[in-house]
């Protein structure tokens, strides 16, 4: 049970957040250049739908300042991921250079990295999903270079995708991730769809929460059918209970993340889900989570 990116954008709360029972935490999204994000107000609750709309726009201090901060602190004793995205001011053709800057600055402080190409709040960012191989290949080259320099293993890389992709898009991205030796896929980011919202507000941004639960689980299932165990799948979107997390696992997720569910359900949700998963596994006769991964795919 991990915390999804977006909650601790500048990686300032990692030690405090670890106390809530998370198994891993993902900080960010961090961009090469510091940026204020979109004008406020920029995050809204849809209480009836148990959802959020956010149009934050990667507000963060920038990779250099986040790295300086992390130098001064010891990470908690759980895996820490750092989610990196494209600076708003960087042209699409310069995206690889922009990501590489953040990747290199933050490399010593992360157990894994997530390549965010799916936020709807940075203009044209999602277009990177159309041709990921050049970006991922350059990141893996740098990964190899830095791991050799630091005499470490390669850092696992994940790609965070949008929930609004077609099956053909998912197949293409899966093939590219395998070719580039990416560790896995995080499914999924916020959706631009307004389906299921009773009184649709005239707000830009991505929708998260309960409205995303079914769609993201379907994507996890499709991905698992396509890649089996060739890629690690992290399921995220609409997890409010142990039952929700279990659906993602049985669809093919080896790991799950929460954000909006934690906002609505409160700080005890992590422990409740962990305890609930133990009961659900025992009920179905499984000895561990891995035995349940993908059984309904």
Catalytic residue annotation: 119
Residue 35: strand, helix, or coil: strand
Alpha carbon 191 to its chain's center: 13
Distance of alpha carbon 41 from alpha carbon 123, whole angstroms: 19
Q: What is the CA radius of gyration of the chain?
A: 18
3-class DSSP state for residue 199? coil
Contact yes or no for 179/134 (Cβ under 8 A): no
**How far, in Å, CA of 262 to CA of 231, rounded?**
27
As a whole number of angstroms, the distance between CA 252 and CA 87 comes to 32
Query: Reduced to 3 states, what is the DSSP secondary structure of residue 237?
Result: coil
């Amino acid at each position: 049970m991990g915390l999804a990116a977006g909650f601790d954008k500048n990686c300032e709360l990692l030690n405090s957040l670890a106390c809530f029972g998370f198994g891993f935490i993902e900080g960010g999204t961090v961009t090469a250049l510091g940026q204020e994000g979109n004008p406020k107000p920029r995050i809204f609750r849809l209480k009836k739908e148990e959802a959020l709309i956010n149009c934050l726009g990667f507000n963060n201090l920038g990779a250099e300042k986040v790295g300086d901060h992390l130098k001064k602190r010891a990470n908690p004793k759980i895996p820490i991921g750092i989610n990196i995205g494209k600076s708003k001011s960087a042209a699409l053709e310069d995206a690889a250079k922009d990501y590489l800057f953040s990747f290199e600055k933050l490399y010593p402080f992360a157990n894994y990295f997530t390549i965010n190409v799916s936020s709807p709040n940075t203009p044209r960012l999602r277009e990177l999903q159309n041709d990921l191989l050049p970006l991922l290949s350059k990141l893996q080259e740098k990964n190899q270079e830095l791991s050799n320099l630091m005499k470490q293993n390669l850092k696992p890389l994940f790609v965070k995708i949008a929930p609004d992709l077609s099956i053909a898009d998912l197949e293409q991205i899966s093939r590219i991730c395998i070719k580039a030796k990416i560790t896995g896929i995080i499914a999924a980011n916020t959706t631009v769809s307004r389906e299921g919202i009773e009184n649709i507000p005239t707000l830009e941004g991505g929708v998260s929460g309960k409205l995303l639960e079914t769609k993201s689980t379907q994507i996890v299932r499709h991905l698992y059918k396509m890649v089996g165990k060739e890629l690690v799948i992290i399921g995220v979107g609409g997890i409010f209970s142990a039952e929700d997390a279990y659906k993602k696992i049985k669809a093919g997720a080896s790991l799950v993340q929460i954000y909006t569910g934690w906002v609505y359900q409160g700080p005890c949700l992590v422990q409740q889900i962990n305890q609930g998963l133990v009961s659900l596994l025992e009920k179905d006769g499984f000895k561990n989570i891995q035995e349940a991964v993908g059984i309904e795919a």
